[in-house]
């Protein structure tokens, strides 16, 4: 099992270039299958989740060409089936975008649900509610979501909670439904806007993305286009936290500073210096950081996907910080790992109370999930000594060239596949 081994304690400094947004790319690549012409998507981050989705898209018969530099060309004219069931799609939550895309194009889709979940316990009820409102019959059969409709017709849909996935999935299906669809209480995340922009570039008629009311006038077909994905807000935020935690100085390039406002303002509040440029942001860490309170919220609130990384920074800030997770109930699993590195954190329900410490110490810790894994790497780089982060496949689902980018900032880190390589790293032979 692959691990990252690192020797921490050095401030990170230099420049890093951010990749395209993974969570936008999942919706955009699924949407690309809706045309019967080539769709060229640029700045696709080449991470595991994207590779899983591209495998699924190939499996249904679309042609997928991956070019150097993150360009992917998808041609959906050769699709010959609307059933997606393979080991990969079960591991990928974003695979459910193929339901919206195939339902919109072929009025039929059968897609494996993410492994270990069922419709009740891991809710996609809002996606289903939306598809049903458009006239689809939805069943869950043999672990798959089966969606069918003789005809899709626009509808007025009020989401019970703000859901990124449901908003994107309904937009995909509704873009080729007959008539007008209105999605109320829609998610406003930058990647929702990016998927809408991409569908519009394919000929869809979607207005209001980025507000909480999205209006879609259905069109009969979507056509090919060239589209460039927006920069990844969460990857950028992760490097911002790395600068803060290691007391470094990092210029993060290819970003949209507006998308980072909730993160920048919290870092400013605790004492970091943030300098914004048109498409870059510089974060200068400080020796003494102050505590603050964070509550995760849908965009433009503080993102749940930044909560673990921010908690690492707060673990090193003076005073008591309170972090409230209001999106996912199970997102504090990393806290035990951080405590093993010397952090002083107590979790009560969906609240973590962090009493800052002056330093963290190295340990062997687990990744748990994508963002928790990134947080552990930041902690390891801030801590004195050698830290090993286990199960890095979680991290590689969503961060492109993470180790290489960190090394470019002066981090002493390597990816190793066994104990021997880890020992060699420690002996400086890697
Ligand atoms: C997306 O997940 C992202 N994933 C997540 O990123 C991100 O954490 C999340 O949005 C919130 O921003 C992708 O884009 C692939 P939601 P998604 O639907 O769409 C509840 C990462 O690290 N809900 O906005 O699945 C749900 O339980 C990942 O990159 C329902 O109850 O999230 C949650 O509490 C992790 N019923 C809340 O809504 C539904 O039908 C928000 O979930 C749908 C959601």
* pLDDT for residue 329: 79
Residue 71 DSSP SS3: strand
Residue bearing the CA closest to ligand 1, atom 42? 163
Considering only CA atoms, which of 21, 14, 46 is closest in space to residue 242? Answer: 14
Looking from the CA of residue 22, the nearest atom of ligand 1 is 29
DSSP 8-state code for residue 384: B
**Distance in angstroms (rounded) separating the CA atoms of residues 97 and 112:** 11
Q: Which two tokens stand for residue 151?
A: 């005809």
Q: How many structural domains comprise the chain?
A: 2
Within 8 A by CB and 6+ apart from 3, the residues are 388, 389, 390, 391, 392, 415, 416, 417, 422
Residues 59 and 182 both lie in one domain: yes
Residues 210 and 335 both lie in one domain: no
Q: Which two tokens stand for residue 249?
A: 């100085």
Q: How far is the CA of 119 from the centre of ligand 1 (A)?
A: 14
Backbone angles phi, psi at 84, to 5 degrees: -120, 105
H and E: helices and strands count for the chain: 15, 24
Identify whether 117 is a catalytic site residue: yes
| Neighbour order of strands in the sheet with 213-217 | 156-158, 180-184, 213-217, 205-207
Q: Which of 198, 228, 258 is the last residue of a domain?
A: 228
Residue pair 134/171 in contact (Cβ under 8 Å)? The answer is no
- Nearest 10 degrees: Cα torsion 367, 280, 194, 300: 70
Residues 223 and 250 both lie in one domain: no
Q: Crossing angle of helices 233-245/307-315, nearest 10°?
A: 10
Residue bearing the CA closest to ligand 1, atom 17? 165
Q: Which two tokens stand for residue 77?
A: 């004219």
* pLDDT for residue 113: 82
Residue 363 DSSP SS3: coil
* pLDDT for residue 142: 85
pLDDT in tens, 360-384: 999 999 998 999 999 999 999 999 9
Residues 175 and 254 both lie in one domain: no
Looking from the CA of residue 123, the nearest atom of ligand 1 is 36
**Distance in angstroms (rounded) separating the CA atoms of residues 34 and 235:** 28
Give me the sign of the Cα torsion angle 392, 379, 420, 414. Answer: positive
**Distance in angstroms (rounded) separating the CA atoms of residues 178 and 405:** 46
Residues 221 and 244 both lie in one domain: no
CB burial of residue 91 (10 Å; 0-12, 13-18, 19+):
middle
DSSP 8-state code for residue 117: -
Is the minimum distance from the CB of 167 to ligand 1 under 6 angstroms?
Answer: no
Pocket test for ligand 1, best of 165, 229, 329, 397 (most atoms within 8 A of CB): 165
Residues 158 and 277 both lie in one domain: no
The parent domain of residue 74 ranges over 22-228
Residues 81 and 125 both lie in one domain: yes
- Residues paired with residue 387 on neighbouring β-strands, in sequence order: 6
Distances in Å between the alpha carbon of 333 and those of 94, 295, 325, 353, 415? 22, 17, 12, 14, 23
Is the minimum distance from the CB of 94 to ligand 1 under 6 angstroms?
Answer: yes
Q: Which of 228, 256, 276 is the last residue of a domain?
A: 228
- Residues paired with residue 249 on neighbouring β-strands, in sequence order: 13, 284
Pocket test for ligand 1, best of 19, 20, 23, 140 (most atoms within 8 A of CB): 23
Q: Which of 181, 204, 228 is the last residue of a domain?
A: 228
Is the minimum distance from the CB of 305 to ligand 1 under 6 angstroms?
Answer: yes
Is the minimum distance from the CB of 126 to ligand 1 under 6 angstroms?
Answer: yes
Residues 255 and 176 both lie in one domain: no
DSSP per-residue letters across 20-66: B-HHHHHHHHHHHTTBSSEEEEES----HHHHHHHHHHHHTT-EEEE
| Neighbour order of strands in the sheet with 108-112 | 83-84, 108-112, 144-148, 137-141
Residues 270 and 415 both lie in one domain: yes
Is the minimum distance from the CB of 210 to ligand 1 under 6 angstroms?
Answer: no
Set 117, 182, 201, 351: catalytic member: 117
Is the minimum distance from the CB of 396 to ligand 1 under 6 angstroms?
Answer: no
Backbone angles phi, psi at 379, to 5 degrees: -60, -45
Residues 216 and 242 both lie in one domain: no
Residues 195 and 330 both lie in one domain: no
DSSP 8-state code for residue 191: H
pLDDT averaged over every residue in the chain = 94
Q: How far is the CA of 164 from the centre of ligand 1 (A)?
A: 6
Query: Which parts of the chain register pLDDT below 70?
Result: 115-122, 429-430
CB burial of residue 388 (10 Å; 0-12, 13-18, 19+):
buried
User: Which CATH number belongs to the domain containing residue 293 in this structure?
Assistant: 3.65.10.10
Residues 104 and 186 both lie in one domain: yes
């Amino acid at each position: 099992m692959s691990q990252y081994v690192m020797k921490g304690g050095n401030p990170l400094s230099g420049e890093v270039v951010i990749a395209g947004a993974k969570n936008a790319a999942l919706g955009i690549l699924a949407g690309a299958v809706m045309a019967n012409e080539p769709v060229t998507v640029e700045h696709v981050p080449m991470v595991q989740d994207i590779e899983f989705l591209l495998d699924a898209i190939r499996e249904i018969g679309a042609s997928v060409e991956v070019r150097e530099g993150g360009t992917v060309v998808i041609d959906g004219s050769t699709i010959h089936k609307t059933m997606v069931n393979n080991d990969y799609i079960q591991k990928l939550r974003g695979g459910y975008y193929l339901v919206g895309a195939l339902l919109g194009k072929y009025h039929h889709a059968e897609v494996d649900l993410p492994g270990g979940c069922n419709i009740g316990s891991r809710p996609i009820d809002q996606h289903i509610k939306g598809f049903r409102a458009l006239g689809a019959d939805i069943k869950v059969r043999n672990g798959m979501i089966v969606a069918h409709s003789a005809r899709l017709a626009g509808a007025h849909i009020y989401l019970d909670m703000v859901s990124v996935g449901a908003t994107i999935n309904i937009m995909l299906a509704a873009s080729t439904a007959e008539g007008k669809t209105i999605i109320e209480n829609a998610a406003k995340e930058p990647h929702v806007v990016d998927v809408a922009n991409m569908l519009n570039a394919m000929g869809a008629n979607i207005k209001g993305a980025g507000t909480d009311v999205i209006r879609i006038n259905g069109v009969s077909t979507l056509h090919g286009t060239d589209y460039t994905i927006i920069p990844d807000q969460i990857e950028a935020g992760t490097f911002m936290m790395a600068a803060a935690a290691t007391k470094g100085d990092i210029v993060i390039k290819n970003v949209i500073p507006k998308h980072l406002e909730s993160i920048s303002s919290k870092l400013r509040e605790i004492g970091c210096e943030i300098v914004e440029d048109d498409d870059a942001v510089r974060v200068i860490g400080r020796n003494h950081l102050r505590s603050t309170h964070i509550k995760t919220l849908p965009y433009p609130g503080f993102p749940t996907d930044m909560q673990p990384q921010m908690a690492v920074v707060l673990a090193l800030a003076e005073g008591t910080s309170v972090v409230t997770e209001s999106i996912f109930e199970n997102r504090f699993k990393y806290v035990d790992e951080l405590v093993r590195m010397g952090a002083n954190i107590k979790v009560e329900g969906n609240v973590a109370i962090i009493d800052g410490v002056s330093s963290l110490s190295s340990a062997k810790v687990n990744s748990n999930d994508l963002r928790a894994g990134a947080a552990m790497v930041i902690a390891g780089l801030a801590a004195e000594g050698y830290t090993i982060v286990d199960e890095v496949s979680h991290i590689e689902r969503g961060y492109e060239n993470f180790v290489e980018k960190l090394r470019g900032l002066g981090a002493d880190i390597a990816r190793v596949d066994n104990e021997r390589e880890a020992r060699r790293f420690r002996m400086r032979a890697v």
